[in-house]
Amino acid sequence: MASRKIKLGSNAVLYALLVIGILVLVNLVSSRLFARIDLTEDQIYTLSSASKRLVASLPDRLTVKAFISSDLPPQVKGIARYLRDMLEEYARASKGKMVWEALDPAKDEKIKEEARRLKVHPARLSVMQKTKVSVSESYLGIAFQYGGKIESIPFAADINTLEYQVSSTIRRLLGQRKKVGFTSGHGEPTLFRGLSAAQEALKDYETTTVDLTEGKTPIPDDVDILVMIGPQKQLPQRALYEIDHFLMKGKSVAMFIDGMILETPRGQFQPGQAPPRIARANVIGIREMLKHYGVTLGKDLVMDKRNQRVVLPAGGNQRVVTNYPAFPVVFDLNKDSPVTRKLTGYVSVFPSSVVPTKEAAAGKNGVKATILARSSKASWQQTGFFLFDPMRQPEYKAGEHKVGPFPLAVLLQGTFSSYFGGKPVPPPGPATPPKENEPKPTGGKKSPPTTRLVVVGDADMIQDQFLGLNNANLLLLLNTVDYLAEDETMIGIRSKTQTRRPLKNLEEGKVTLAKWLNIIGLPVVFVLLGLVRWQIRRVSRRSAVAKLLAEPPTKGEGQ
């Protein structure tokens, strides 16, 4: 008996040692092998191949220091854990070229001082407790050191954008920046007034202003991409020539242009009354050049029943909240183009149609047109006189309005022919109306086949005052610039920030049906399931009793 107890005890000890050994072995292996399953649609928790290639191609060592407080509030602890895992993935992908460490400034004044030197500062966060709300200073920032240069992410506030911030910061340290020129001189918003959010978002690029006033100054040779947003004045022929000449070099251009603009007529208005705004065709002298390239900018406004709820001025200090058709929510996006593939939708602001010419749509003359975005089937084309009144919504009228969908953004790519081919070079000077019998351009210089031109019939959607409608509006601009810079690898990383999941628009009857199905349908389903289960159990019990009664008595029973 004693020997059996000893044997059982020895087996128990042996099994315990075996389990401990397996756990130690698993920990040793897991410390050298990193794996994680990411089930999110945009693979938010997986390092993209572009980021892996970026750190794998580092020419020299990159040092990264993550300053993470040990007593972080609950709302950011998950971000800290994700940050550690992500930096570990970067380090493994770099094959030893990137080294990183985590430091807690709260434990050492020297570490605090180092954080300040590396441009990482604490953030004041609210901490919810049972009886009170306190404020703590917490560190959750990253510092990068490379080749004597320092860049930092002061506070990692969002998991969705973190990989993009890290990869773009590394790119800046490596000096991989192209130059983006924004045109000015014809009523465009500036980088400091109207486009400040766009300038901040484009910090991976060097941004500059290109003054095309009277075409006196040529576009600098070091500008890689030209962006025109919202001109509202006539461009002189020399300015058009500079744009055309830039395109013929094989460089790419993006134009966000309004086909029609709203303006307030001069006159006397009653106090407190909102002055009317009337739409007119935007006369900027660029339509003929765009048509030559392969796209027609419409003199229209595209209205849509599928639109965004907005706050509009209604006179004095009053505001009205309404769903206005001139703010379409654009869901019909080209899923084959890198520019719009990862976007699920954006909000347009008084857009105009942008229609490819038949030749460009068919890919003739060396240029191929690709529609990037369309309005919905519930949209219509507003032409002619239009008075903007927030209190009176425009309505579709059968027989009067053309029904959509309408193209709102178009990409042209290929070998462009110069608009000024066969024409003398226009001299610098003020804009003049085109002459009646002015000869059309024929032949002339052509661009390389890699040239790209994007035309969007909306200049307001990416300006500061309207960016609050949808964060994807700015993503459309950033993706466009990346694509024109032939740097499509960063588009996929940035698009992980696109988290908008809008519900599809349903007819009123379907909405009512869905409502009552939720209110009445689900309880009825559960009641029916209960009745079915009760009936099954009842039948089962009856069968069991019948079977028991049918069995003959066994021997000895009843004696």
Average confidence (pLDDT) over 409-426: 90
What number of residues does the chain have?
559
Distance, CA of 280 to CA of 167 (rounded, Å): 44
- Over residues 210-245, the pLDDT tens digits come to 999 876 678 999 999 999 999 999 998 889 999 999
500-511 residue pLDDT tens: 555 566 566 777
Cross-strand bridge partners of residue 453: 253, 412
CA distance 257 to 354: 10
Record the tokens describing residue 336, joined without a space.
């084959």
Residue 413's pLDDT band, with cuts at 50, 70 and 90, is very high
Report the percent of the chain where pLDDT is more than 70.
81
pLDDT in tens, 178-200: 899 999 989 999 999 999 999 98
Mean pLDDT of 306-317: 79
Mean per-residue pLDDT over the chain, rounded = 83
User: d(Cα 348, Cα 188) in Å, to the nearest integer?
Assistant: 18
Q: How far is CA 505 from the centre of its chain?
A: 21
- The answer on pLDDT for 271 being more than 60 is no
Q: Are 100 and 141 in contact (CB under 8 A)?
A: no
Task: Please give the Cα distance from 70 to 140 (Å, whole number).
Answer: 10
Torsion angle in degrees (nearest 10) through CA of 365, 368, 373, 378: 50
Residue 124 pLDDT > 60, yes or no? Answer: yes
Element (H, E) at 332: strand 332-333
Q: How confident is the model at residue 559 (pLDDT cuts 50, 70, 90)?
A: very low
The pair of three-digit structure tokens given for residue 205, joined into one six-digit string: 């690029």
Band (425; pLDDT cuts 50, 70, 90) = confident
387-388 vs 277-281, strand pairing mode = antiparallel
- pLDDT tens track for 441-474: 444 589 999 999 999 999 999 999 888 777 788 8
The pLDDT of residue 408: 97
Q: Work out the pLDDT band at 352, boundaries 50, 70, 90.
A: very high
